[in-house]
Structure 1
Amino acid sequence: MLLLECFLLTPYKIYMKKTILLFGMLGLTGCAGPRYAEQSATTLIDHGDYTVDTSYPSQSQNERVRFLIFHYTAVDDNESLRLLTQGSVSAHYLVPTNHTEIRGKPVILQLVPENKRAWHAGVSSWAGRNNINDTSIGIEIVNDGFHEGPTGKQWITYHKKQTALAAALARDIIARYHIKPQNVLAHSDIAPLRKSDPGPRFPWYELAKRGVGAWPDDATLKKHLQRKHRCSSGSVALIQQALGTYGYTIPQTGTLDQETLRVISAFQMHFRPSNCTGAADKETEAIAKALVEKYCHSTGLLNDIST
């Protein structure tokens, strides 16, 4: 009798389990339906043959854009626009000399969307990263760069309104991508053996006061000068070490070879434009050390290069 009872009840139990499971699945489906309906406006993207749900972002991510690079075009407005839109080079933004205004605001030309790669940096490196095109936004400023004169290169001054406009654009980009001050760079910083733009007339100090880019603190600079004359000889080895730590690709040989001279000259165009011959003087050494102390926070290195 007991065996018969178990046999008779088993199908019933199976039926009940299936019924409970079915209602459970319906209940889950009922919950999922409204959830996706609510998400559709913000987190669901229709790609035709499939839908992408963006409601589960990973915490392991950061911005693709790490660097902001300034250039001069070396040609006039019309030729700059032609080369950057029809040639083999490009940039995300072009700041013209004669900008137009819309509703009282100056217009900057965006040539490449920020989420796409522009061809402005070429063979380049900074802080151990190569191919800076992949991780940067490029700003081209219409400026002739330099003219050859009887005493060498005659660098062209930038228009104040033009650089103010470039600074406003740069501040906006920096805020969006959380770009570090030491990653706001000249083309010559990331390609010092090939490039000289935006040149020593580019107003880096004025831009730094507006929150764009790095600049050494006066007090720290004086500390590293150690009351020595700024034109006295500095240590090539310490300059190489400091510039390498700051981000430049530079030999660590302790000798003033041609590559080191070119890199030091590029550094001076950015941070000591009054004299950018590439001389390894005490002021250059002090500026490099001050930048490392302010932006690289490397205590061990500071102990090594402070002597």
Structure 2
Amino acid sequence: MSRRIYPLLLIAPALALLAAVSIYPTLYSLWLSTQRFRRGVPEFVGLRNYVTILTGKNFWESLQATLIFGVSFVLITVSVAFLLALVFNRRPRGAGFYMTIIFLPWMLSEIVSGVMFRWMFLPQFGVLQNWLGPLVGENFRFLSTPGGAMGVVTGATVWRSLAFAMLLILAGLQTLPREISEAAAIDGASRWQSFWHVVWPLVLPTTTVTVLLLTIQAVNAAGMFLAITNGGPGRSTEVLSLYMYREAIEFFNIGYGAALSVIMLGMNGLLAAVYLRTLRREALN
């Protein structure tokens, strides 16, 4: 058997699986995005679905909601995760117990976590609604206002994703040689100077990777929004992934929903390219 053919035969099962679960659905979505279905019968419309999406206000409103959620979610998660990683990197007493508590939310599904937060913010008997509502306003209802609803979903997503981000950053911190920080302390550097000039530059690639992974998660977030707000009040929390789901599944607008999925595929492709480039640069360094 030829030396060129034998390696191809070895990877053939993996290539077949990749084609079945990735390549074929992508090509099928591209075909669906050029169709309009009437009574279940497809009709070729070319790029009309894309034109309708990009010229309509619903897409841009959903994109705005996605950006608001993504920026706030990534900033809060990375900031809190970095602080926790710095604390656990010092191996405090009871670290195992507290880390277990932090990891519990990550074990829950998005829908379960979302339903929990929805119940906790119900106007009548929600625990967090009764505790936090009076601090904002006597008649304030978190899930009844656009800002409050977005804040609840953002908080729930941060609560669930915090362990993942902290683990990545903590792994980066624990790969740093302790001799570097000790040398900086001997040279008279304060803790802040040691962190800013020594630790931060070395852990920056890991933090960048964490930011990119959380950004990809934010772009594709749907479960929390579906469970907590279902896009409301109005359409204020209808992010792109939820918009695509409702168009394709609830309204049975298959071609339009497929076009939305192709646009989101392009967005994820750009983020994945940046992620891979960052990993390659980190490996070279």
TM-score range, shorter chain: under 0.3
Pick the structure with more strand per residue: 1
- Normalising by structure 2, we get a TM-score of 0.24
Q: Radius of gyration: which is bigger? A: 1
Greater RCO (Cα-Cα under 8 Å, separation 6 or more): 2
User: Between Structure 1 and Structure 2, which shows a larger proportion of helix residues?
Assistant: 2
